[in-house]
Amino acid sequence: MPSHLKPLAEISTTRDHKLGAGRWLTLHEVAFNDPSGTERRWEVCRRSNAANKPDGEQSVDAVDVIAVIKNLQGRATNVILVVQYRPALSAFTVEFPSGLIDGGEEPATAAIRELQEETGFSQESGHKIKVISTSVPVAYEPGLTSSCSKVVVVGIEMEQDELFGPNALPRKPRLEDDEWSLQVVILPLSGLLHSLKELQTFAGGASKLVLDSRLYAWAIGRELRC
């Protein structure tokens, strides 16, 4: 038990008022009492398809897929990323493949499906894919939204000549209409942060191609490993 962490207070939402709704999102004002009894209010954005959960439980509505290429000796060599236009930023982003979980779908199953739909890597195309781990629920941007995801790490066993060049295994993405801008980028794990910065420069700068915060944290975490 970390000695610096104070016990966390029990806090419950006392009111949840919907302010508006769009096609995919709803905006709410929630009220709660802090430990002193003071009522506080906060505006929260939610996905329209998010499941209703009892207070204190997290609704997981999406998956993020960390898809790592491993050679036949088991050494991780590359990571599969996607670039797509994000209207909220008026810019493109580079990020992990991700997507919403269908009703009744397991996160690991959703991860394999999204990986195939967005990148074309699939077992039916001859790729040796294995789910390595699935995380606990993690928050996207907790100051803004209730949306949580699970991070699924996937290993794909293949050599470099199967990944690039004339002998590469076929990849057939199944993009939806709103994924018109999506393209796949495969970068080496060695020096990943440097490669991401080079990719930004090639694309026209950091204002044209924005790094997703989860990808940046993962890349810099690899550099800081002891």
Strand partners, 207: none
pLDDT at 2: 65
Spatial CA neighbour of 156 closest among 124, 123, 134: 123
Mean pLDDT of the region 20-30: 95
Whether the CA torsion 206, 207, 209, 210 is positive or negative: it is positive
Question: Is the CB of residue 27 less than 8 Å from the CB of residue 45?
Answer: yes
pTM of the model: 0.92
Whether the CA torsion 203, 207, 213, 219 is positive or negative: it is positive
Question: Is the CB of residue 188 less than 8 Å from the CB of residue 194?
Answer: no
CA dist 175 and 191 (Å) reads 30
CATH fold label, 60-224? Nucleoside Triphosphate Pyrophosphohydrolase (3.90.79)
CA dist 63 and 109 (Å) reads 10
Would you kindly state where each structural domain of the chain is located, as residue ranges? 13-47, 60-224
CA dist 218 and 201 (Å) reads 20
pLDDT tens-digit map of 152-191: 999 999 999 989 988 888 899 999 999 999 999 999 999 9
Give the percent of the chain with pLDDT over 90: 82
Tokens at residue 18, please? Answer: 């919907």
CA dist 164 and 133 (Å) reads 26
Residue 172 half-sphere exposure toward CB, CA atoms < 13 A? 5
Mean pLDDT of the region 101-128: 94
Residue owning tokens 């999204």: 114
pLDDT at 54: 44
* Per-residue pLDDT at 203 exceeds 70: yes
pLDDT tens-digit map of 48-100: 876 545 444 567 999 999 999 999 999 999 999 999 999 999 999 999 999 99
